[in-house]
Structure 1
C-alpha cells in the first residue's frame, strides 16, 4: 500500500473511530441507565406488593381472630357455626372457603357446604400443625383433601375459661380465582412484564399462567435469593430463556417471595430506536468531516510516512526509539506520535500482563503448573538445592457438599493466603490441582522445610473460614538432592509423603529421611 492510500485509511480511522467510540459510549451509558431504572422500578413494585400482601395476611388473621372470638361460646350450635362461616367468606372475599373444626380436627362447619367435609376428621399437615401449635398459623402450600392446591390460614378458638376448642381457618385456592389474583394480578403490560410468587421451597404459588402454579423454579439466582429471605434486584433468565430485569422482596410472615420482572429487550427497545435516529442525523456531519480530512491529509505526508514505517513494527521494542526520532512539525502529527508511543507502551504492558496471567491460578492468585515448571528449570540450571512441600485439604469434597462450591472456593483462597504468609519472598507457592498445592523452597534443607510445613499445618488448623469454620491439611516434604537427584522423583516423593499423611490420620506432616523407607510423621 502506497503512502497516499495509507494516509486515506488513517484519515478515515481518525474520523470514524472517535465517532464510533462516542456513539458506543452514549449507547452503553443510556443502556445502563434504562436497565438500572427498570431494576429500581421492579424492586420498588415488588417491595410494595410484598407489603400489601403482608397487610392482607395480617388483616385476614384479624378477621379470623374476630370470628374465633364470636364462636368461642357457640361451638355446640352447628347451624350458627355454618352461618358464621358463610358470613366470613362472603363478607371478607379473602378466602375461597372457610372451615371450622374442633380440638380433634373434626369439621363442624364449612362454607361453601358443597365441599362435603362436614363431620370428617382432617389430617392435613396444616390442620395437624394448628392442633399441635394452638396458635395463629399460615401454612405452606399443600394439596387439600378436596384436591385443591391451597394455603390455609387459621386462628384458634379458645373458650372464655382458656380451653382450646378448635380453630377457624380460611383457604386460598392457588389454582383458582383467589385474593392473590386481585391483589397481584394488575401487573400486566403488553411488553411481557409480569410478576410471580414463590414459597420458601421455590415453588410457584402465584403466576399469571395458572399452569405454572405448583412448579418448582430451578437455576434462577433471583428466586434463590428471594426464597432465602433476601430483597433486591438483578438480571435473570426465565423458563422460556428470556433475559429479564427483576426486582424481588420477601413477605416477612410467610417467607414467600414476590418477583416483578420485565424483559430486557422491552426495556432497551426505545433506546435502539433513539440510537438509529441519532445515527441518521449525525451521518451528514460525519461525511463532511471526512471530506475535510481527506483534503487535509495531503499536507501531512512526510511525518505520517515515517510514523507509518514505525507503526508496522510496533511490537518491536526498538520501534519506540524510531518513532521518537520523527520530526513532527505540526500539532496533529505530534499528537499521533504521542498516541503511537502510548500504544506501544500499552502493548508491551499487555504482553507482560498476559505472561503473568498464564502462570497464575485465577482463583487463588498462586502460581500454576507453568510457574512451577519455570521455577524448577531455574533451580536446575543454577544447581540450586530446594525442598518441596506438597499439601491438600482434608475432606475437601465434604466442604463442597456441605457448604457449597462458593464456600469451597473461599476455603481455597484462605489457604492460599495462609501459604503466602508462611512463605519467604523467594519461595514459590503453587496451586497444581483442585485442592492440591505445592510450595517450592529454594536453598532450603529437608529439616527446615519440615519445620515450615509443620508451622503451616498449625496455622491452617487455627484459621477460621466464613461458613466453613475450620479445615486441616495433610502435607508431605521432600528435598532435592537429598530425597533424589531426579526432580520428578522428588515431586513424586513429596506426593507419596502427602498420601502417607492421609493414611496416617490426616492433619499431619510426613517426611522420608534420606536412606529411610519409613515415613516420619509429625502433627496430629
Structure 2
C-alpha cells in the first residue's frame, strides 16, 4: 500500500530539460552577438551616413551661398558701371532706354531694369511692357534706395504691380557729386529668374532640394514656386539663419518630414541657403544593404539552427534516457534499460556506469528488504503480510486454493520444559518439513507463535486433506533432539467453497483446527460444506 498519498505534496517549480536548455543557450550565444553586431553595424553606418549627408549639405549650401554672393556683387558691379555711363546722359531718353535694354537682356540677371531720377520718377525701363515710364514709383525698394543713395539689395517685398521682388540698385552721381537718381534691377521671385538658374539645376530626384529664406524667415526661392513668400515657423534651420548662423542639423520640414539640412548665410543680404535631403532617402541604401545582408545570412542561420537542434538532441538524449531510468530505479527492468543507453561522450558514460552500480546495490537492498518484510525471521517462511498479498493475487485472478491450518500440540509445554531455544528448534523443524511437502507454487507461512498456514493453489479439498495427513504423519514420526516426538493438529478448507469471501475459508480452516484439537489432537479435520436441502 502506498502510504505517501496521505502526505502533503509540495509544488515544485517546473524544470527545464537539458535539450531545451542547451538549445536556448546555444541560440542565445549565437543570436545575441549576431544581433548586437548587426545593430552596431547598422547604427554606426547610419550615423556615418547622416553625418556625411549633413556635412555634404552644409558644404553645398556654403558653396551656393558663395555663388549667390558672387552673383549679387556681380549684379551690383553691372549696375555701377551702367550708373557711370548714364550719369552724363540723364537727359537722353533713347540712350537711357538703350541702356536698360542692354542690362536686362545682356546678362539676364534681372527680370526688369529701370532708371529713376532723384524723385523716384521712372526715366526708362525694360521690358517696355511695364509701361511705367514717366511715372513716379513709391515702392519699398525705391524708397529705400532713394533714401540710402548707395548700393542697395532690398529685402523681398510685394511690388505695386503685384510681383514679389528683390530690388537691387546703384546710385547715379554727377561729376560734381550731385545725386541724380539710380539704376536698378528687379528679380521677380515668383517668375523664372536668375535664382532658378543658379539654384534650380541642383534639384535632386530623391527628394533633395534647395530653398532660400531671408532674415525674416520668408521663402524667397523654392522649387515649388507656390511656396515663395511663405514664412517658415518652427523650422530650426530658418531660426538659425534669422540669427545669422550657418550650420547643419536634423530639421522637420513643414510637411512633417525629417530632413538632413545644411545651411549657410549670404553675407551681403543675410539670406540663408538651405540644402536638405529627406533622412529616409539618405538611409534607404543602408536599409537595402542591411536587408540584403539579412537575406543572405538567413539560409546559413537556418542551417545553423538545424545543426544546433540536432546537436542538442544528440547531447541531451543519453542524459534524458538516464534521467528516465533514474525515476524507475526500483524496477528490475531498469538495469537493462540503462545498459541499452548509448553514452557516446565521457560524462554520460561515467554517469551510466555510476547509475548501474547504484541500481545494482539498490536492487539488492530492495530484494533484501522485501524478503525481510515478507519473511518470518525465525523459520524463513512467509509472514502474514506475505500471506495477504498472495491471497489477494489468488482472488484477483479467481484462482481456487486450499488452506491447511496447522498448530503444534502442547507447544507451551515444550517451551516450559526445555526452554525457548528448544521451542525455536521445533518451529524451524516444522517449517522445514512444510517446505519438503510443498510444491513450487504452494505458500507456506507462519502466522503466529506456533500457528502455521499452508496454501495450495488449484488443489481440491480431498487432495489437500491428503497433504495434511501426510504432514501430520511425518511430524509424528520424526524424533527431535532434546524434545523427542511432537504432534500437530490440522484444519483443512477450500476456496471457493460455500462462501464467496476468501476470509471465510480461513475461518473454516481455523474452526477445523480447533475441532481437531477438541477431538484429541494429532489429527486432521476437513471442512465439509453443508449440502443444500431438497
Superposition TM-score tier, normalisation by shorter sequence: 0.5 to 0.7
Report whether the alignment pairs 1:262 with 2:277: yes
- What SS is found at the alignment partner of 1:185? helix
My pick for the range that moved more, 89-98 or 237-246, is 237-246
For residues 274 and 42 of structure 1, what CA distance do their matches in structure 2 show? 23
Q: Is the 8 A contact 1:227 1:250 kept in 2?
A: no
Residue of 189, 192, 213 corresponding to 1:174: 189
CA RMSD, aligned part only?
2.2
2:67 is paired with a residue whose SS is helix
CA contact (8 A) 1:115 1:146 kept: no
Work out which of the residue numbers 30, 38, 52 in structure 2 matches 1:15. Answer: 30
Instruction: Write out per-residue CA displacement over residues 254-283 of structure 1, whole angstroms, 9 at most, x where no aligned residue.
Output: 000000111111111111111111112222
- Per-residue CA deviation, residues 405-430 of structure 1 (Å, 9 max, x unaligned), is xxxxxxxxxxxxxxxxxxxxxxxxxx
- How far 1:297 sits from its partner (Å)? 8.6
Larger deviation, residues 272-281 vs 90-99:
272-281
Deviation at 1:296, TM superposition (A): 5.7
> What is the alpha-carbon distance in structure 2 between the residues aligned to residue 61 and residue 260 of structure 1?
26
Partner of 2:51: 36
Alignment of 1:117-156 (within 5 A): 117-156=132-171
The offset of 1:118, in angstroms, is 1.2
- 2:248 paired residue number: 233
Runs of 4+ deviating beyond 4 Å? 291-294, 296-301
User: Which residue number in structure 2 is paired with residue 94 of structure 1?
Assistant: 109
SS in 1 for 2:232: coil
Residue 299 (structure 1) shift: 6.1
Within-5 A mapping of 1:308-323 = none
In the TM superposition, what is the alpha-carbon distance from 1:284 to its structure 2 partner?
3.5
Tell me the residue number matched to 1:105. 120
Structure 1: 5+ residue stretches without partners: 302-329, 331-524
1:3 matched to 2:4: no
Cα distance in 1 for partners of 2:148, 2:40 equals 60
Q: Call closer, same or farther: CA 1:98–1:27 in 2, change over 3 Å.
A: same
1:33-85 CA-to-partner distances (Å, cap 9, x unmatched) read 11111111111111111000000000000000000000111111112111111
Partners of 1:154 and 1:218 in 2: CA distance: 31
Query: Per the alignment, in what secondary structure is the counterpart of residue 229 of structure 1?
Result: coil
Cα distance in 2 for residues equivalent to 1:281 and 1:229: 49
Q: TM-score, normalised by structure 2?
A: 0.55
Alignment of 1:195-274 (within 5 A): 195-274=210-289
Name 2:395's counterpart in structure 1: none
Distance, in Å, in 2 between the alignment partners of 1:288 and 1:164 is: 89
Q: TM-score, normalised by structure 1?
A: 0.56
TM superposition shift of 1:293: 4.5
CA distance in 2, matches of 1:62, 1:300: 89
Distance in 1, Cα, partners of 2:72 & 2:203 = 23
Query: How much does 1:235 deviate?
Result: 0.9
Matched, 1:279 2:294: yes
**From 63, 70, 83, the counterpart of 1:68:** 83
Q: 1:27, 1:300 → 2: CA distance?
A: 37
Give the count of matched residue pairs: 304
